[in-house]
Amino acid sequence: MKITKFIIITLAASFAVTTGALAQAAKLPPASSKQGLTYATDIKPIFDASCVDCHSGNRAKARLHLETLDGVLNGSKEGKILTPGDGANSLIVKAVAHLTKDRDDWMPPLHNKEGFKPLLPEEIGLIRAWIDQGAK
């Protein structure tokens, strides 16, 4: 009886984790189909318009520098924000898609004094595809 109860609990927990991941993936905009994406041409303009005011220079929030490719790849004081080749699971994609558990990690924040609007699904799709293509 104890083994059966353990199996049922384990299966239920696995189901909950799987359905949660599927629900999150369903909300994530699809990766762009555009090929040959580069930081300089495709991603920097998005970051310049919505992110760099807070994430650059000597006072970069979370010590995250988004004004250069090296800065993006170095990540923040908390660690890496992306894994080349895995856009869907990269923190930066989840943050700009407002899919992180902690709303303080949503970027740009919903109510920011600069008045930045959330990124468009197309912009998130470009960032995701750029990471999928190796984040170069």
Inter-residue contact 129 to 29 (CB < 8 Å) = no
Q: What is the pLDDT of residue 67?
A: 97
Cβ atoms < 10 Å from Cβ of 54: 20
Residues 6 or more apart from 30 whose CB is under 8 A from it?
125, 128
Judge if pTM exceeds 0.85.
no
Q: What is the pLDDT of residue 97?
A: 98
How much is the mean pLDDT over the chain?
A: 87
User: pLDDT at residue 101 above 80?
Assistant: yes
CA atoms of 53 and 46, how far apart (whole Å): 12
Rg (CA), the chain: 17
Residues 6 or more apart from 95 whose CB is under 8 A from it?
81, 105, 106, 107
Exposed/middle/buried for 8, CB within 10 Å: 0-12, 13-18, 19+? exposed
Q: What is the pLDDT of residue 114?
A: 86
Residue 15 pLDDT grade (very low, low, confident, very high; cuts 50, 70, 90): low
pLDDT digits (tens, 9 = 90+) for 34-57: 999 999 999 999 999 999 999 999
- Average pLDDT over every residue of 19-25: 44
Tell me the backbone φ, ψ of residue 108, rounded to 5 degrees: -65, 155
Tell me the backbone φ, ψ of residue 89, rounded to 5 degrees: -105, 10
User: pLDDT at residue 5 above 50?
Assistant: yes
- Average pLDDT over every residue of 108-119: 91
Q: What is the pLDDT of residue 7?
A: 57
